[in-house]
Structure 1
């Protein structure tokens, strides 16, 4: 057999190992020996041998049959592996299943993702408090801080929508929590859930206001602009 033939032979069969398992097996509580043993079991399952013996499994590993048996017992006890019964030609048989491992890996992945999402949410909420304090030019009162928490946790307003409502209040020259709450209530009542929808709604509102009142004088307009220190809603 030449090298080219050997390479073809080596590529003729492979074992699929999820990247997440290789990256996080130790965080799941698996040792290197246990990981390799699970991969050996997966190899035998892929070949159609559903219940390899400890002797078969240890042949390709650097552990004894006794140690292999102990590892198998531990994997089953800790919920990484299970033995299932099935019927083959009316004969009761047993087989290994590594589905519990995939279940644990999924739970770990979801936990990590939820943790990242929670951290991101906490950062967004912290930034939200800073933005409000910047616009109000003072620290928020305990009541105002509680109102922000209620908007997020009880009313389930999106953080970005709360920022948008603050921008609208600034542009209207009414920077207070009661007015912002009215904006959020109005948006929720009208089914407005995105920044673009809120922007279009605000444009229509101001257009209607403009037709119902006289155009302000140049002095009034200049005074009005000075009331909008940070945000320009229409340019966002």
Structure 2
């Protein structure tokens, strides 16, 4: 019994990328072709670089001729290639390579990630337009929509940073696109890239302004509801 367990352990394991199970249908690979690819991979892992159709078919429920046909299709589709090899003693031989399969899997994975990111960005932009319209209390004009798009596409401002600039404009009581554009310009010039940095930068300016000495003829007792703000347009 123990010997059988040891032998079973010595058979080893193969590591199959989860992406293969996720994207094989997208790559136009059917289940028979998938299983054959797994067997080829298993042979390669065990040191057999060029398993023959009879060797592969003994592990499957298909005939040798069917196995040969599947191998031919997989080579035509570009999932397997036959390469030349050479042993240490100079003997040349042929071997299978499934590197093209891994490359196609990577491409499929990246394509899906890019698509998801694109959809997420589009949703974020739509949410951004909605937030601006809620704060302005009206639909944005075509010029304002274009400006908002330029901030995202040309200036490469993150939507969260744009929302933070909108917040600064609301706090300062200067809710207009020119004021927000100036805030974004100042933040970019000063390397502000995160919400935390933007909040800290704005708070420092408001704190600095609140500490400025008042004119002699001004009231010494400020209104409790007054919010000090930094006038970005005067920079």
Smaller-chain TM-score bracket: 0.7 to 0.9
Distance 1:178 1:171 in 2: 15
User: What are the Cα deviations for residues 198-225 of structure 1, in whole angstroms up to 9, with x where unaligned?
Assistant: 1111111112222336387878654x57
Distance 2:204 2:14 in 1: 60
Scaled by the length of structure 1, the TM-score of the pair is 0.87
What CA RMSD, in Å, does the superposition of the two structures yield over aligned residues? Answer: 2.1
User: What are the Cα deviations for residues 143-184 of structure 1, in whole angstroms up to 9, with x where unaligned?
Assistant: 100111000001100000000000000000000000000000
- Structure 1 pair 30–216 and aligned structure 2 pair: CA distance change class (3 A): farther
Distance 2:219 2:114 in 1: 51
Which is helix-richer, 1 or 2?
1
SS in 1 for 2:92: strand
Distance 1:131 1:48 in 2: 60
Aligned length: 223
- Structure 1 pair 179–64 and aligned structure 2 pair: CA distance change class (3 A): same
Distance 1:29 1:213 in 2: 74
- Structure 1 pair 200–216 and aligned structure 2 pair: CA distance change class (3 A): farther
- Structure 1 pair 217–58 and aligned structure 2 pair: CA distance change class (3 A): farther
Distance 1:189 1:137 in 2: 30
Distance 1:45 1:31 in 2: 21
Distance 2:41 2:157 in 1: 47
In structure 1, the gaps of 5 or more residues are 226-236
Shift of 1:74: 1.1
Partner of 2:90: 90
Q: Map 1:141-160; keep pairs closer than 5 Å.
A: 141-160=141-160
**Further displaced range: 161-170 or 105-114:** 105-114
Shift of 1:7: 5.0
Distance 2:80 2:219 in 1: 76
Scaled by the length of structure 2, the TM-score of the pair is 0.88
Q: Map 1:1-236; keep pairs closer than 5 Å.
A: 2=1, 6=4, 8-12=6-10, 13-88=12-87, 89-212=89-212, 214=214, 222=225
Distance 1:7 1:32 in 2: 31
